[in-house]
Amino acid sequence: MSAETVRGEPKLQDVKMHLLRPTEPGIGIVTRNERCTASKKAAGFVRHIEIDVTGTPLVGQCWPGQSLGVIPDGVDGHGKPHKVRLYSLSSPLAGCDGQGRVYATTVKRSIDEHWDNHTLFLGVASNFLCDRQPGDKIMLSGPAGKRFVLPADPNAHDYLFFATGTGIAPYRGMILDLIGKGCTSRITLVMGSPYATDLIYHDFFLGIAEKHRNFTYLTAISREKAEGRSGLYVQDRLAVDRDHLLPQLSDERNLIYICGLAGMELGIFQQLALILQGDALEQYLRVDAAAMSDIRRWDRRMIHKEVRPTRRIMMEVYA
């Protein structure tokens, strides 16, 4: 077990899992499917998709931080039914309808070229989902996952959420749950995108930041100059906004959630090790002395070995 005991360790919310198995999926009906990037000129196609799960055991049981399984219609190249793919929920526990019957996910179309012959590659499940129209049926399983959820007592902690790309999905649901329940904890969201046009749910988070003083929304745009600086990755916010973030980071109440591209966790760990010292750092990371002497040379293989996150860090990263 990699996580090490630490003060302020959270007791996470108990959640149900696998109420629907991929071998006996339930049927959901799409009620809404719309682009959710900041501008229509966004480089990527990202869609907010709402699915009515009425009549399935999923009703009222899907927590943000968990995933739904989606089984695309049709068969694969070998004539076999498609396998299940997991998509993070972006809705709160009570769903988009307030009754736990309509849950949402956030999907980016996977569009690429085959590396060997440069023909078009389209990801099966992401394009299947993004193509769906209201009224279309979708085979669902889940919910899956229990380690990336909020604590059972949300008021007992503060939250520093890091997202890249569609890694933002769980935080939309979590923040709606926290704010909706009147949680007054400090909540800081750091969202990374290649271009400002590609920020996801941008107006939604701006609106929450305007109404709730305990919520701070920071963006990190990697391929544009902003605030007089060249591109930023989410971890750079730890240095740039150090004065704002240090008091929250140093508080025993604080938890860190990391969701998005594999690799982002390494950059965040390195930056934490650069700005925190001694006991403050040990609340999040246990680092071997030899590794501590050369932080900038860390690589991902060291995670869970020489560099061990504690239970104050929750991670969900994917290739």
Q: Which residues bind ligand A2P (CB under 6 A)?
A: 44, 164-165, 192-194, 198, 222-223, 233-234, 261, 263-264, 267
Task: Give 185 or 193: the residue with its C-beta nearer to ligand A2P.
Answer: 193
**How near is the Cβ of 214 to ligand A2P at its closest, in Å?**
26
For the CB of residue 185, give the shortest distance to ligand A2P in the complex, in Å.
25
Residue 202 CB, nearest approach to ligand A2P (Å): 12
Cis peptide bond upstream of 25, omega within 30? no
Which residue is at the shortest CB distance from ligand A2P? 165
d(CA 130, CA 296) in angstroms, rounded, equals 39
220 burial (CB, 10 Å; 0-12 / 13-18 / 19+) is: buried
Among residues 68 and 163, whose Cβ is nearest to ligand A2P? 163
CB 174 within 8 A of CB 87: no
Tokens found for residue 282: 């040990």
Establish how many alpha carbons lie within 13 A of residue 311's alpha carbon, considering only the half-sphere containing its beta carbon: 16
**Shortest spacing between CB 236 and ligand A2P, in angstroms:** 9
Minimum CB–partner distance for residue 291 and ligand A2P (Å): 18
Q: Return the number of the residue (31 or 222) whose C-beta is nearest ligand A2P.
A: 222
Q: Residue 18 or 242: which CB sits closer to ligand A2P? A: 242
In sequence order, which residues have a C-beta less than 8 Å from that of residue 283 and are 6 or more positions away? 6, 7, 8, 252, 254, 310, 312
> How far is the C-alpha of 108 from the C-alpha of 58, rounded, in Å?
23
Q: How far is the CB of 90 from ligand A2P (least distance, A)?
A: 15
CB of 265 to ligand A2P, least distance (A): 8
Burial status of residue 110 (CB atoms within 10 A of its CB: 0-12, 13-18, 19 or more): middle
- Measure the CA dihedral 55/61/66/67, to 10°: 0
Q: By C-beta, is 224 or 251 nearer to ligand A2P? A: 224
Nearest in space to 110 (alpha carbons), one of 97, 100, 124, 98: 124
